[in-house]
Chains A and B, each alone.
Chain A
Amino acid sequence: ETGVTQTPRHLVMGMTNKKSLKCEQHLGHNAMYWYKQSAKKPLELMFVYNFKEQTENNSVPSRFSPECPNSSHLFLHLHTLQPEDSALYLCASSQERRVDYEQYFGPGTRLTVT
């Protein structure tokens, strides 16, 4: 349960605010992911980092900006968000960026944009 942690767990922000989500993994993994989970919709992969290098950006708007300073930490910087960006943001990690490796998820940050 404590393998992947995310802070804050809940965040309410206005459309003009700037905030950051933080993720930390204690599993010694080399790949980290950001997902967006909206109600009744499949998980949407946003960004992938492998050995600190961004390997995938799934056409995510520039108001979302990821940062991966090392293999254990991942940030998602938020600015000028829209109400439709309200969702649960999940961080995950895996041993490597390989699709046959299972991913370990954090508890998520519930984001509300007002």
Chain B
Amino acid sequence: AQSVAQPEDQVNVAEGNPLTVKCTYSVSGNPYLFWYVQYPNRGLQFLLKYITGDNLVKGSYGFEAEFNKSQTSFHLKKPSALVSDSALYFCAVSGPSGSARQLTFGSGTQLTVLP
């Protein structure tokens, strides 16, 4: 069975500082990995994905994530945080085929950027 772990329920960072939101996964075969963000009273918005190719993936709003196969991680990063980045972030994983066709979401990390 595939799974996703977001080990931190809450991450606080000062505006202008770099931010990291952690994600580790478990899946059979090569993973498809996604990050989504949810602002209050809104649905999830797609940020970026890793399917294949370059391990460093760049996405919306200046976010990027690095796929690390040996550590089974896909951490979300941004060089300089903005107060407007405060939101709930979800990591998700799927396997490429068979019974792992569903997207499995983590439980989310609440990011708060302090002014």
Report yes or no: B106 in contact with A42, Cβ–Cβ below 8 A: yes
Residues of A within 8 A of B101 (CB): 99
Establish whether residues A42 and B44, one from each chain, have CB atoms under 8 Å apart when the complex forms: no
Does the CB pair B105–A102 fall under 8 Å?
no
| Chain A residues within 8 Å of B106, by CB | 42
Known: A99-B102, A102-B34. A40 touches B107 (CB 8 A): yes
Stretch at the interface among B15-23, B45-53, B63-71, B76-84: B45-53
* CB closest residue in chain A, given B100: A99
Q: Is the interface of A mostly helix, strand, loop or mixed?
A: loop
User: How many chain B residues touch the partner (CB < 8 A)?
Assistant: 26
> Which of A12-20, A63-71, A79-87, A104-112 interfaces with chain B?
A104-112
Contact of A99 among B4, B32, B46 (CB under 8 A): B32
Q: What is the count of residue pairs linking A and B with beta-carbon distances less than 8 angstroms?
A: 54
The residue from B4, B46, B102, B104 contacting A56, defined by CB atoms under 8 A apart: B102
Interface size on A, residues (CB 8 A): 21
Taken together as a complex, chains A and B put the C-alpha atoms of A58 and B104 apart, in Å, by: 13
Kindly provide the distance from the CB of B102 to the nearest chain A CB, expressed in whole angstroms: 6
Contacts A40-B107, A41-B107, A42-B106 hold; do A99 and B43 have CB atoms under 8 A apart? no
Closest to A45 in B: B102
Closest A residue to B94 using CB positions = A99
Query: What CA separation (Å) do A90 and B96 show in the bound complex?
Result: 24
Q: State which of A40, A56, A102, A108 has its C-beta within 8 Å of the C-beta of B43.
A: A108
The 10 A-B pairs with the shortest beta carbon distances in the complex, nearest first, are A105-B43, A99-B94, A102-B46, A43-B105, A105-B44, A42-B105, A107-B43, A42-B107, A106-B43, A100-B51
